Amino acid sequence: MNALEGPDGKAPSLRELARDVGVSPTAVYRHFPDKQALDKALAREGLKLLGSEQSAAAKKAGGGAAGFAETGRTYVRFALAHPALFRLMFTQGRPIEDSDVPDEARALLIANTRALAGNPERAETLALQAWSIAHGIAMLMLDGRIPADDSLIERMLDTDNLFPDQGSSSEESP
Amino acid sequence: MNALEGPDGKAPSLRELARDVGVSPTAVYRHFPDKQALDKALAREGLKLLGSEQSAAAKKAGGGAAGFAETGRTYVRFALAHPALFRLMFTQGRPIEDSDVPDEARALLIANTRALAGNPERAETLALQAWSIAHGIAMLMLDGRIPADDSLIERMLDTDNLFPDQGSSSEESP
DNA sequence: AGCTAAAGTGAACAACGTAAACATAGAGAT
DNA sequence: ATCTCTATGTTTACGTTGTTCACTTTAGCT
């Protein structure tokens, strides 16, 4: 994991990863057919970690719209905390097959948007929009286009602000 | 430009670019200090092109909220049309300095959000949110996480849907 | 023509992903 | 205890990449 940490956000080389583990570069090929497969495996770990962090955050925020907003903020914070890993998770040549991904994150997203939007088609659009905003913020911050400021994350991912018609803070106190 | 086109979305190597121009790899170093500088120059070209396409699209749509929505769709379509170039434009090690960028796109974005939101602070947040959505959609589609479907772009970047409080379609027929 | 500055060249280096041939260690069966 | 098979490792080597260095070529000016 060493080569994947650090704030540099640079993609780790196969040889560097092998060095970290204390093994020759070609030994990797006993376990993975090629570098892309290695990356895929690492990406899967990352997705699992992100998913668990997100559901923990949602739970802590008490679920509902507030919890939904927290999953978004957690997404962005995760990207900033693990730049290289985050890039690896999404910048793969071809997407990870659905079956490969224990996608806690996606399930959470769908459940949340179903709850927020009445109409199921609207819910799907809402899900993709929510994902896109979080992903866009994450990417723009990683690439230095937008200040990687925690308060900015807060402000941009404010559900009351973003989806004012979907009724959010009102459901906590019925 | 040859190595930057094509649907593969792969980053072009310095040597490949040199080959395309019909020159030895080291000749490049007479014009750019290193590969990053070359990339930066190409990125600048890309940003200029994107900006002009966006303002053309906004004009054709008749300006206003409809024009704003079009700039977003144009952003995403540009990314899909020039995957490698688009990645180059944003995935640079360090961001392009503001002074370097003749940022027609950014100016357009700010003007548009100023017009949509009354409050200037709200306008800035709105601008960043709009950019993030468009960028997120573009990235997720480029990475195959979301179907690169034109009608989906349309649906996700529908301002009436996205920012219902900011009053959009009503200003066309006063 | 001759000088100078700009632009291009080829050879070489370290690092990368990967392939091929060979080595070793441990488990199970005899 | 030995033999054998399989899993895992190593060394060496190839082609590609970004980059440096020492040269050569080209173009423009006087």
List, for residues B68-77, the tens digit of each pLDDT value: 999 999 999 9
Does some domain include residue B147? yes
Domain membership of residue A87 (yes or no) is yes
Asked whether the beta carbons of residue A132 and residue B145 sit closer than 8 angstroms, the reply is no
Instruction: Report the distance separating Cα B163 and Cα A102, nearest Å.
Output: 33
Per-residue pLDDT reduced to its tens digit, B129-170: 999 999 999 999 999 999 999 999 999 998 766 655 554 443
Domain membership flag for residue A3: no
* Separation in Å, CA A169 to CA A123, B8, B173: 18, 45, 34
Q: Is residue A107 part of a domain?
A: yes
Query: Of the candidates B125, B135, B156, which has its C-beta nearest A129's C-beta?
Result: B156
**Longest CA–CA separation in chain B, Å:** 62
Q: Which of B132, B140, B162 has its CB closest to that of A137?
A: B132
| CB B44 under 7 Å to nucleic chain D | no
CB A89 within 8 A of CB A106: no
Closest-CA distance, A5 to chain B, in angstroms, reads 17
- CATH code at position A145: 1.10.357.10
- CB-side exposure of B81: number of CA atoms within 13 Å? 11
Q: Is residue A169 in a domain?
A: no
Distance (Å) of CA A41 to CA A10, A14, B22, B118, B161: 18, 13, 40, 48, 38
Structural domain of A153: 35-163
From chain B residues 63-92, the ones with a CB under 8 A of any chain A CB are: 90-92
Looking at the complex, report in whole angstroms how far the Cα of residue B40 sits from the nearest Cα belonging to chain A.
Answer: 13
Counted domains in chain A: 1
Taking the Cβ of residue B26 and every Cβ of chain A, the question of whether any pair is shorter than 8 Å is answered with no
Is A24 within 7 A of strand C by CB distance? no
pLDDT tens for the 174 residues of chain A, in order: 577 877 677 889 999 999 999 999 999 999 999 999 999 999 999 999 999 999 999 999 998 889 999 999 999 999 999 999 999 999 876 665 655 555 788 888 888 898 888 788 889 999 999 999 999 999 999 999 999 999 999 999 987 666 555 544 434 333
Q: Is position A113 within any domain?
A: yes
The predicted-structure confidence for B10-56, as pLDDT tens digits, reads as follows: 889 999 999 999 999 999 999 999 999 999 999 999 999 999 999 99
Residue A112 located in a structural domain = yes
